[in-house]
Amino acid sequence: MHLNEGTRRRLKIVLPIVATVAIVAPLAWLWQASLLPKSYSVMDMGYSDFGGGPGNEPAASDSHGHGHAASPGTRSVVDLTADAARQADVRVDLVAAQADLVIGGKSVAGYTLNGTSPGPTITARQGQLVEVHLRNTSVPTGITLHWHGYDVPAAMDGVAGVTQDEVPVGGEFTYRFVADRTGTYWYHSHQVSNEQVMGGLFGALIVLPVDADRAGNDVIATAHTYGGKKTINGAATDLRVAAKAGQRVRVRVINTDNGSIEAWASVPYRVLAVDGYDVNEPADVPGRSVTLTGGARADLQVTMPSDGTAVRVQVSKGTAVILGDGDPPPPPQPAGDLDLLSYGSPEALGFDAAKANRHFDYSVGRRPGFVKGRPGLLWSINGHLYPNVPMYVVREGDVAIMRIDNHSGDVHPMHLHGHHAVVLARNGVAATGSPWWVDSLNVGDNQSFEIAFVANNPGVWMDHCHNLKHAADGMVAHLMYEDVSTPFRIGGAADNQPE
C-alpha cells in the first residue's frame, strides 16, 4: 500500500488521537456507568432474581404486572410494625453522641450510647414487648439501630435508606418489637455502619426465657477492636467474673468486629447456642476453638472445676474472661475449630427444605472495575458489581434455598436481615448435627454453603457481607417480598448511607 505525503501527515495527527480515545473512552465509560444517582431506591437496583419461583409472569391476583415483580407493592415497610396498641414491657432510652473513648489508657475517637461504648445491654424476657427510644445528640452523620440477628418487623430493622431515614442530630426514633425468641443478639448503627460500628455505636441484646434465673451464671463478653486495641465489654483488660466450684457458667460471646475471632477455654466447654439459636444436645468440645465470624454470637458453657481452679475463656488471643479466683495461664489456641456441621444432634427443622420453591445463588467473586466512581479490585455478586446485583424476590410462605459460594480470595461473614437460615450443606457435604441456624455465616474462600430459610417476615431486607468494609465497597444485595415496597431512598435529603 502506498500512501501519499498528505495522507501520511494526516494519519500522524489522527492516529495518536484515535489511540488516546481508544484507551480513555472505555475507562471513562466504565467510570461514568459506576456513578450512582444522588438518591435511589434499593428496589430499583440491579435485577430481579425470582429463584425459579413465581414472579416472572404476572401473578393471578395481579392485574397490572408486566413481568416486573419489583412493581410497586401493596404494602409499605413502614406499616410492618409491632402491635401499636400494646404497651411496652421493657422501655429503654438511648442517647447517641460523638465522644473520645479511653481504651487501654489511650484516647480513641468514637461514639457512645448513654455515655458508654458498648451501649447499655438491653435485656428482655421472652414474649415481652421491647421499646427503645433513640435520640441523636451529636453523631454528625446520623444514626439508626439495627437489631442484629433479631428478626424484627421490617419497619424496625433500622437500615438507613431501606427501612427508615437516618436519625440526624437532634432527631429521634422509636423501635418496638416483641422479643419472641430467646438468645444472644446485638444492636448497632446501620448508617455509615463501617465507621460507626468501629467507633462503638453498638450494644448487646439478650432475651431470656421467662423463668430463667440469671444470677451469677450468665456472662456477656462483647468483643470489639477500638483503635487497634482488643477489648471485652469496652475494656482492654481481661473480664473477671466470680464463680464457685462446680457452678455452670454461660459466656455469651458477641463478635462486633469485621473479622472473625476464635473462642476457646482452659477446660472443655459446650456451645449452647449459635447466633441466638439453641444447639440441640451439645457435647463437650475438647481441644477445639469455636469460630465467630463478623457479627456472630456463640454461647459457651463451662463447668467450674470442683477443685476451685479458675477457668479462662479466651476471646481471641488477646483477651479473656476469667471465671473464679486466680490467674490461670492462657490455654494454647487449639489447632482446629469446631465443625458446627456435625455438632449436636439432629432435630426437626419445622419446615421441609425439600419443598423449597425458590433457589437462589449468591456467588461472591472479585474483579477489577469501578464502584461509585472508584476503581479497584471489587467484590462481585453473581459476576456483577454494585449496584447491578440481584434483588432476591420471594412471596410470604415460600421456602427458599440459597447457595452461597465464595471464590473471591477472602472470607465473608454473610448476614441476611430479618431471617434465620439453616445450613443444609457445606461444600456438598450435608449437615448431620443439630440444626445449625445462622444469621452471620463464615464463608471462607473456595467454600460453598447451601442454606434454607422460610419467607415468614415480609419486608425489604439487606443480604450483605458483615465485614462492613466490604459492604461499604458494594457487597450488598437485598431480599424483598413481592408485595412490599419501601418509600426510603439511599442518599437523598436524609443522606442515608447504610454502609
Binding site for other proteins (CB under 8 A): 15-17, 19-20, 23-24, 104, 108, 198, 225, 227-230, 257-261, 316-318, 375-377, 409-411, 445, 469
Q: State which residue, 72 or 373, has the beta carbon closest to other proteins.
A: 373
Q: Least distance from C-beta 400 to other proteins, angstroms?
A: 30
| Cβ distance to other proteins smaller for residue 221 or 494 | 221
Cβ-based nearer residue to other proteins, 228 or 350: 228
Residue 253 CB, nearest approach to other proteins (Å): 14
Q: Exposure string (b/e) for 75-101, b if CB count within 10 Å is 16 or more?
A: ebbeebebeeeeeeeeebebbbbbbeb
- Dihedral angle sign, alpha carbons of residues 496, 420, 295, 125: positive
Between strands 311-315 and 261-265, the pairing is: antiparallel
Greatest extent of the chain over all pairs of C-alpha atoms, in Å: 102
Give me the least distance between CB of 305 and other proteins, in Å please: 29
Amino acid letter at 215? A
Rounded distance between C-alpha atoms, residue 56 and residue 244, angstroms: 62
Closer residue to other proteins in complex, CB, 136/231:
231
Cβ atoms 435, 454 nearer than 8 A: no
- Residue 332 phi, psi (nearest 5): -60, 150
Nearer to other proteins by C-beta: 361 or 410?
410
**Whole-number minimum distance, CB 92 to other proteins, in Å?**
28
Bond into 118 cis (ω within 30): yes
Cα–Cα dist 269/487, whole Å: 47
Gap between the Cα atoms of 148 and 498, Å rounded:
14
Q: Rounded to the nearest whole angstrom, what is the least distance from the CB of residue 330 to other proteins in the complex?
A: 14
Q: Given the complex with other proteins, which of 108 and 443 has the nearer CB atom? A: 108
Rounded least distance, CB 333 to other proteins, Å: 12
Q: How far is the CB of 76 from other proteins (least distance, A)?
A: 36
Which amino acid is present at 450?
Answer: E
- What is d(CA 332, CA 262) in angstroms, rounded to the nearest whole number? 12
Q: Looking at this protein, which amino acid is placed at residue 318?
A: G
Residue 128 or 291 with smaller CB distance to other proteins:
291
